[in-house]
Amino acid sequence: MVHHSGSTWYIVLPIIHAMRILTTLLLAVSLVPLVNGQWSCANAQDVGIGNHAVSSLMTGDPPPLSCVSGWGEPTHAAWFRFTASADTAIQVSSFVQGNPSISTRLHVYAGTCGQLVCLAGDEYSGPGFTSQAWFTVTTGNSYYIVWDDLFGATGFHFSVTYFDPPDGVVVFVNTPVPGISNIYGAVDMNNDGMDDLVSPGATAATMAYQQADASYLIAALPHQQADNMASWSFAVGDWDSNGHRDLLYGGGSGATFLRANGTGTSFLEISFPQYIFSQRTNFVDLNNDGHLDAFVCHDVDANVAFLNDGAGNLSFNQGGYGETCGNYGSIFTDIDNDGDQDLFVAKCGCDPADLLMPNNGTGAFTNVAPSLGLNDGHQSWSSAWGDYDNDGDMDVLIGSSGSGVHKLMSNDGDGTFTDVTSGSGMDSNTGTSIEWTAHDFNNDGWIDILGGSGMHYNMGDMTFTHDDSAPYNGPIGDLNNDGFLDIAGSNTYSWNMGNDFGHIRFNLQGVQSNRDGIGARVTITSALGQQIRDIRSGDGFRYMSFIGAHFGLGTDDVVEQVHIRWPSGIEDVILNPAINTTHLIVEGISTSVNTSDETAISVVPNPANDLITVNGVAPNSAVKVLDVAGRLVLQTNLTGGRLDVSALSPGIHQLQLVGKATQEGLRFAKE
């Protein structure tokens, strides 16, 4: 498949990749004999369409470049070479009917020996922990299929087949990003409105800053030795509200915070002494005080919160967020539509019963999962929350990491849920994974599900169709600024080639609320109806995706209204925003206001520091400024159309013209 953009043609090269659980599922014994693959790139064994085998005597060169994220370094590999006789798509899979399902790891390269480039790779997505990937090939070019021994050298079979992508699916192209590996985040780190790639490190966090031409600029931001690495999960959020996002590493022994300096060029390492077997980490305002707190799932004990006092201090708190062990995948979203962030914990291990804990508005949480049929114990690891039926409340897919039994629950909007798994398409899908996330990948206006060996496309009626050619879960963001959500891998990203559907995206900046606007709900209205998104830090199990609200619009070319409900309770309404673009919305701000005589006025910059300019009025106009509570805090005359606001306290303010009997105040933010 080929995609044309401007004067450039791009060949579609998808990738599948996943994390590994060391388990083998044995099926029937094959009658196909096992043969040795050749043991280096230079003497790789030629293979064509059909079934092939790898012997247990794997002693060849290890892959020079990993095309998947893994748990360690292989020592040997088996090398095969496929030469294309036509422009087509090829699928490689170690799941071959009638043969044992052996735990494998696959790398696929283009290029020449010594200059290989990853095209695809996989560790987990096939049945029984087999590997599968598909990619497009060009006539006359050779491609290297490499199986490594990281998970054992047991003999196995694999197939090379032609692959025809299903109609209507989104196609992804594997795009290497030189200079970065071990990508855990896809989030804007330099405040330019474009998602960047983040790789946590021991003494520096590596950033791949997205550029306007979709290239990346690599920078290493130093910090002191991290006591804990992001071995289990990673979260991002500006918890000290200095305008630069901070990092949270969830490690096997504890949590480490990396606090960004005032220029966003380095980090201060902060680790806590308490033992935490960290799983999912999140940034969230737990107690609705306007300050961003942190949350860490504890595998072997009660969950942990780090509460923010607003003065630059975090305090360790344990208890009140799930008291037993086996906590794996936490996600915060407004489940009951009351404006605060509720908690769902997907469980595993010692106490596998999932938790649903509504927030009472002050940071107190009570488990109600048993009464709602959400206390499943099938080793879920993570959950995917989204409004799948576009009725204004959050539904959930509780996916399985091992049993292949998934549960789709529709939010009834009255505090109850209905099990709609049967006939949804999720009941017939047996693919498993530890990562489950919900986003609109094809921009049709309906939230899709990524996880369990592929993509599950939302048909708009609470049913889903499965596409096993999609990449495995990783950090999700718009990684080439084209309006479609991409999926990052270890040292690449899977470029969503998109379609003709439109989109709109909102990045938020809180003033009264936390600066990232985490916990805000964004609702858009178009001909499709209403769509909702909650702003989150941390979903799925391990990775950190973009902070913002992305909406697909299908064929709609107008968004009539955007409504933003901030954690503070402030509400903003924007009419007829431009589509196919990203909007930065500052809490409590409208761009202009009409006075009673229909003269439009506006204020810049907004948010402000010391001086603002008021446009649309006489340069010496008398003005007054009210605070968010409506109290008069300033009354004076403009000087040359400008107003000194340096003495105002940070927050939302309202500017009015003195002498206007009837007018709507123009809101602006003071930083």
The Cα–Cα gap between 275 and 43 comes to 50
pLDDT > 70? residue 413: yes
Amino acid at 380: S
Q: Tell me the mean pLDDT in the region 405-417.
A: 95
Confirm if 642 and 614 have CB atoms less than 8 A apart. Answer: yes
Least confident range of 1-5, 152-156, 592-596:
1-5
pLDDT at 169: 80
pLDDT at 370: 95
Least confident range of 99-113, 187-201, 245-259, 296-310:
99-113
The Cα–Cα gap between 494 and 469 comes to 12
422 exposure class (CB count in 10 Å sphere: 0-12, 13-18, 19+): exposed
Q: Which two tokens stand for residue 178?
A: 């030189």
The Cα–Cα gap between 411 and 581 comes to 31
SS3 category, 127: helix
pLDDT > 70? residue 8: no
Beta bridge mates, 103: none
pLDDT > 70? residue 33: no
Residue 178: cis peptide before it, omega within 30 degrees of 0: no
The Cα–Cα gap between 63 and 274 comes to 39
Q: Between vectors from CA 609 to CA 646 and to CA 258, what angle results, nearest 5°?
A: 125
Residue of higher predicted confidence among 665 and 218? 218
pLDDT at 17: 30
pLDDT > 80? residue 599: no
Q: Between vectors from CA 517 to CA 253 and to CA 188, what angle results, nearest 5°?
A: 70
Residue-wise pLDDT for 288-342, tens only, equals 999 999 999 999 999 999 999 999 899 999 999 999 999 999 999 999 999 999 9
pLDDT tier for residue 34 given thresholds of 50, 70 and 90: very low
pLDDT at 601: 75
Q: Which of 182, 196, 332 is nearest to 264 (CA)?
A: 196
Confirm if 245 and 516 have CB atoms less than 8 A apart. Answer: yes
pLDDT at 153: 67
The reported pTM is 0.74
pLDDT > 70? residue 19: no
pLDDT at 282: 98
Mean pLDDT (the chain, rounded): 87
CA dihedral (581, 582, 588, 590) positive or negative: negative
Q: Which of 591, 572, 602 is nearest to 512 (CA)?
A: 572
pLDDT at 664: 54
Count CA atoms within 13 Å of residue 257 on its CB side. 28
Residue-wise pLDDT for 214-236, tens only, equals 999 999 999 999 999 999 999 99
DSSP 129: G
pLDDT > 80? residue 6: no
The Cα–Cα gap between 156 and 106 comes to 12
150 exposure class (CB count in 10 Å sphere: 0-12, 13-18, 19+): buried
Q: Tell me the mean pLDDT in the region 643-649.
A: 91
pLDDT at 73: 83
pLDDT at 9: 30
Residues 6+ apart with CB under 8 A from 115: none
What is the residue whose two structure tokens read 């967020």?
321
pLDDT > 80? residue 13: no
Alpha carbon 629 to chain centroid distance? 36
pLDDT > 90? residue 654: no
pLDDT at 257: 98
Q: Which two tokens stand for residue 308?
A: 């923010």
pLDDT at 593: 39
Least confident range of 61-65, 79-83, 538-542:
61-65
pLDDT tier for residue 600 given thresholds of 50, 70 and 90: low
pLDDT at 508: 96
Confirm if 144 and 43 have CB atoms less than 8 A apart. Answer: no
Output the CA torsion 220→223→228→232 (10° steps): -30
Q: Which two tokens stand for residue 261?
A: 């300096």
Give the whole-number percent of the chain exceeding pLDDT 70. Answer: 90
- C-alpha radius of gyration, the chain, whole number: 26
Which phi and psi angles does 611 have, rounded to 5°? -125, 145
Q: Tell me the mean pLDDT in the region 636-650.
A: 90
Residue of higher predicted confidence among 25 and 303? 303
Count CA atoms within 13 Å of residue 6 on its CB side. 4
The Cα–Cα gap between 509 and 472 comes to 31
pLDDT at 608: 84
The Cα–Cα gap between 140 and 81 comes to 12
First to last CA, the chain: 49
Residue-wise pLDDT for 170-217, tens only, equals 878 778 898 999 999 999 999 999 999 999 999 999 999 999 999 999
Residue-wise pLDDT for 437-447, tens only, equals 999 999 999 99
pLDDT > 50? residue 594: no
Least confident range of 31-45, 189-203, 360-374, 620-634:
31-45
Least confident range of 455-459, 468-472, 589-593:
589-593
Q: Tell me the mean pLDDT in the region 99-114.
A: 90
pLDDT > 70? residue 2: no
φ/ψ bin of 310: left (φ > 0), alpha (ψ from -120 to 50), beta (otherwise)? left
The Cα–Cα gap between 392 and 387 comes to 7
Least confident range of 317-331, 408-422, 650-664:
650-664
pLDDT > 90? residue 344: yes
Q: Which of 403, 456, 451 is nearest to 425 (CA)?
A: 456
Beta bridge mates, 63: none
